[in-house]
């Protein structure tokens, strides 16, 4: 059995999905589109899975999320729908509910945040609401796990017994006449296409182009539908979309009047208003954002994450010593032992040592997102982004870029215009992804231990500023035009869900560990091989005579002006094209240093100025091969992806050159 979880954005859908599934989740993409699909097995229910559909406000085919949700519900034939509603804002949420009811799929409404309604002296008449909508309604609190068991039982029972919504007709007057006239005209077409007649009729009255094509209507039928719609518009003195929206909201207002005892301003709302005077205020919003990020970096790299990382490194080095002693006692061939210890183990261990830092950073980032603050950041950034030709909506993919460039580039599909999408793709690689964190952590600890948080913040701000400069230039040259309007709901500030935060931390740690034992493992083994043998495949006594040294020297000529004359630095940057974490693993292998020793060994090949330049270069140079492949797919052209790579490399070289030479002068 498959259930679909549908609802508005910021209504607690992700929290409910996590509560229903626990860790029994799979993440992928919907077939044919790069919109994330999360599927999970419902805890305690055998062979019952639930698909977390993208958060939407309607089933209109305007965005990829709406198209994905609609296509899934119409084409995949789920056994049931769980429609989650924010009980504190029931009028807005019911708009999507009425559209879902028209699909005639067994549905259960999850009335979320009922604890907040009750805490603020509000109430909702559940039996009357069920009668009005014609579907089961279960009051829940996803954060507090209230009603989750009852919801699971009701949703699975409704789906098993195929209990379809009992009411689908919410219209009256001219709208009623138009919908029913269209329904009679298209009944056979809808049945042939496998689309519910009522849903098809309402969508055609609203002017749904894709559905018109799907139903394969002839010219005469289209003219008759247009005539029915025109009569409705003349009678109501409004356009077709406004007429349908008014019809739904009139019904919603009547239901709300009968079923909902409105509460006063909730504590959460009052708290949000007070916090927003500072966090979204005209003068304090951006300083507050920078201050919060500085605090996050200080806690991650100076107090919590770094200390945990140091402890893990000590453990990895101790384990490495034991493994090395065992291999030596066994009498293993020295070359094979070197491959295992100096190649595979040294490279993987040097990266694994940064897992606590990654987990700590994403703990704080998840806290900010789940609390509702990240939505405010997009709102605050709308005004400055408009000055460079983008809207606040573009800031969402840019924020995702701080995690990973791949999903960030994919997220640009949600942007309404091709212009905004292309510009945002060009900017996203400037947002420093989490894969670069091991590089930053290692170099700032080795060369700038007293100013780690400050240097880290400076790197992130530099990336943002150069991205802004890029957008400004593109807006004046290649991508002239105005950004699309931006509308975004600001949810109340809420305490983050512990389960959601922990699941995100686990996902990031798991992803990082998998990369360490796959891409980075392979890269470090290749690096060891090229470093150990010369062109005639003889084992070298000095790595400077190896194949790798020859490759590195040919590249170091180009990088010498920015402070990277040593071939080992050039080589590590080449491996970073596969995965940025591989840069540290490669340096560990090339310098024959353990995880704990690597930071102290960097002084052999880096001056402080060169280290600062190296940080700048790794911040800005070409994203990994997976990100480049995603850029090519989204832009639809190899040339476009090549231009992104070339531009990033040029900007990285120029910025690193400036940093290196200025630092040499002033330090």
pLDDT digits (tens, 9 = 90+) for 197-244: 999 999 999 988 888 888 888 889 899 999 999 999 999 999 998 999
Asked if residue 103 has pLDDT above 90, the reply is yes
Q: Are strands 36-41 and 49-52 parallel, antiparallel or unpaired?
A: antiparallel
Specify the range with the lowest mean pLDDT, choosing from 161-165, 193-197, 385-389: 385-389
Average pLDDT value for residue range 93-103: 94
Assess whether pLDDT exceeds 80 at residue 486: no
Residues 61-82: what's their mean pLDDT? Answer: 84
pLDDT in the model for residue 35: 56
pLDDT, residue 483, reads: 66
Beta strands across the sheet bearing 80-86: 25-29, 36-41, 49-52, 2-7, 80-86, 107-112, 137-139
Residue 85, SS3 per DSSP? strand
Q: DSSP for 247-297?
A: HHHHHHHHHHHHHEE---S-HHHHHHHHHHHHHTSTTTHHHHHHHHHHHHH
pLDDT tens track for 602-643: 888 888 899 999 999 999 998 887 788 778 877 878 888 899
Q: For the residues 309-332, what does the mean pLDDT come to?
A: 90
Phi, psi of 416 (to 5 degrees): -75, -25
Strands 107-112 and 123-124 come out as unpaired
Q: CA nearest 258: which of 91, 437, 26?
A: 91
State mean pLDDT over 3-8: 94
Query: Residue 432 in contact with residue 619, Cβ under 8 Å?
Result: yes
What does residue 320 show for φ and ψ, rounded to 5 degrees? Answer: -65, -40
304 in helix, strand or coil? coil
Count of H helices and E strands in the chain?
32, 9
Lowest mean pLDDT among 49-53, 72-76, 168-172: 168-172
d(CA 414, CA 397): 9
What's the pLDDT tens digit per position in 13-51?
A: 888 998 898 766 655 444 444 456 788 899 888 889 999
pLDDT: which is higher, 482 or 364: 364
C-alpha distances out from residue 435 to 191, 399, 467, 513, 556, Å = 50, 15, 19, 12, 23
User: Is 87 or 386 the better-scoring residue by pLDDT?
Assistant: 87
Give the C-alpha separation, 320 to 587, whole Å.
Answer: 17
Average pLDDT of span 536-559:
84
Identify the H or E element spanning 80. Answer: strand 80-86
- The CA-based angle 225-61-102, given to 5 degrees, is 65
Q: Enumerate domains of the chain plus CATH numbers.
A: 2-160 (3.40.50.300), 173-261 (1.10.287.1770), 286-666 (no CATH)
613, 415 Cβ separation under 8 angstroms: no
The mean pLDDT value for 307-336 works out to 89
* Residue (of 538, 563, 522, 583) closest to 663 by Cα position: 563
Helices (H), 148-218: 148-160, 173-193, 197-205, 209-214
Residues 138-152: tens digit of each pLDDT: 999 988 889 999 999
* Distance (Å, whole) CA 162 – CA 159: 5
* Predicted confidence band of residue 416 (pLDDT cuts 50, 70, 90): low
C-alpha distance from residue 623 to each of 433, 579, 647 (Å): 9, 8, 11
521-to-350, 479, 575, 584 alpha-carbon distances in Å: 11, 41, 12, 12
Q: What DSSP string describes 38-76? A: EEEEPTTSTT-EEEEPPP-S---TTSHHHHHHHHHHHHS
pLDDT of residue 156: 95
Whether the pLDDT of residue 426 is over 70: the answer is yes
- CA atoms of 141 and 641, how far apart (whole Å): 45
Residue for token pair 């009678």: 235
Global pTM? 0.67
Q: What count of other Cβ atoms lies within 10 Å of the Cβ of residue 423?
A: 25
495-506 residue pLDDT tens: 887 877 887 777
**Three-state SS for 447?**
helix
d(CA 596, CA 354): 11
pLDDT the model gives residue 10 = 76
């Amino acid at each position: 059995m498959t259930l679909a979880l549908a609802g508005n954005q910021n209504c607690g859908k992700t929290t409910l999905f996590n509560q229903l599934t626990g860790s029994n989740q799979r993440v992928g993409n919907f077939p044919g589109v790069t919109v994330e699909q999360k599927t999970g097995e419902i805890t305690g229910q055998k062979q019952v899975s639930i698909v977390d559909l993208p958060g939407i406000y309607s089933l209109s085919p305007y965005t990829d999320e709406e198209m994905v949700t609609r296509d899934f519900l119409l084409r995949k034939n789920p056994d049931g729908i769980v429609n989650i509603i924010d009980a504190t804002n029931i009028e807005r949420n019911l708009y999507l509910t009425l559209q879902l009811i028209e699909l005639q799929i067994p549905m259960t409404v999850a009335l979320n945040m009922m604890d907040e309604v009750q805490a603020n002296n509000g109430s909702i008449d559940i039996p009357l609401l069920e009668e009005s909508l014609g579907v089961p309604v279960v009051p829940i609190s996803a954060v507090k796990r209230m009603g989750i068991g009852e919801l699971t039982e009701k949703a699975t029972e409704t789906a098993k017994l195929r209990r379809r919504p009992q009411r689908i007709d919410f219209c009256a007057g001219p709208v009623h006449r138009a919908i029913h006239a269209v329904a009679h005209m298209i009944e056979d077409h809808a049945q042939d296409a496998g689309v519910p007649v009522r849903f098809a009729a309402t969508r055609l009255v609203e002017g749904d182009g894709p559905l018109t094509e799907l139903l394969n209507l002839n010219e005469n039928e289209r003219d008759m539908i247009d005539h029915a719609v025109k009569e409705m518009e003349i009678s109501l003195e409004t356009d077709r979309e406004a007429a349908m929206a008014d019809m739904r909201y009139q019904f919603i207002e009547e239901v709300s009047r009968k079923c909902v005892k409105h509460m006063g301003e909730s504590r959460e709302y009052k708290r949000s208003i007070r916090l927003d005077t500072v966090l979204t205020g005209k003068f304090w919003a951006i300083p507050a954002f920078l201050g919060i990020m500085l605090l996050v970096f200080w806690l991650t790299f100076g107090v919590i994450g770094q200390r945990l990382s140091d402890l893990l490194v000590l453990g990895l080095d101790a384990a490495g010593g034991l493994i090395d002693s065992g291999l030596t006692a066994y009498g293993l061939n020295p070359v094979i032992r070197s491959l295992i210890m100096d190649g595979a183990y040294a490279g993987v261990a040097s990266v694994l040592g940064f897992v606590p830092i990654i987990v700590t950073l994403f703990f704080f980032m998840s806290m900010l997102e789940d609390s509702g603050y990240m939505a405010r950041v997009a709102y605050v950034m709308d005004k400055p982004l408009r000055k460079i030709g983008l809207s606040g909506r573009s800031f969402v993919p840019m924020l995702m870029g701080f995690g990973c460039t791949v999903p960030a580039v994919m997220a640009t599909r949600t942007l309404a215009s091709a212009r905004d999408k292309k510009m945002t793709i060009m900017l996203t690689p400037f947002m420093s992804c989490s894969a670069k964190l091991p590089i930053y952590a290692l170099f700032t600890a080795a060369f700038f231990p007293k100013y780690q948080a400050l240097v880290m913040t400076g790197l992130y701000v530099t990336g943002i500023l150069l991205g802004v400069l890029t957008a400004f230039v593109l807006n004046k040259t290649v991508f002239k035009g105005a950004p699309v309007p931006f509308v975004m709901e600001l949810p109340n500030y809420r305490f983050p869900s512990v389960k959601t935060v922990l699941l995100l931390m686990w996902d990031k740690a798991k992803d990082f560990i998998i990369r360490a034992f796959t891409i980075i493992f392979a890269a470090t083994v290749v690096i060891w091989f090229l470093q150990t043998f010369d062109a005639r495949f003889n084992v070298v006594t000095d790595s400077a005579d190896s194949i790798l040294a020859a490759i590195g020297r040919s590249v170091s000529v180009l990088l010498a002006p920015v402070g990277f004359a040593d071939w080992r630095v050039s080589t590590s940057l080449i491996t970073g094209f596969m995965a940025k974490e591989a840069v540290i693993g490669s340096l560990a292998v090339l310098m024959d240093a353990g995880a704990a020793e690597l930071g102290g060994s960097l002084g052999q090949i880096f001056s402080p100025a060169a280290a600062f330049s190296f940080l700048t270069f790794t911040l800005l140079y070409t994203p990994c091969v997976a990100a480049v492949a995603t850029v090519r797919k989204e832009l639809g052209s190899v040339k476009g992806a090549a231009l992104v790579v070339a531009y990033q490399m040029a900007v990285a070289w120029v910025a690193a050159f400036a940093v290196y030479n200025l630092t040499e002068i002033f330090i």
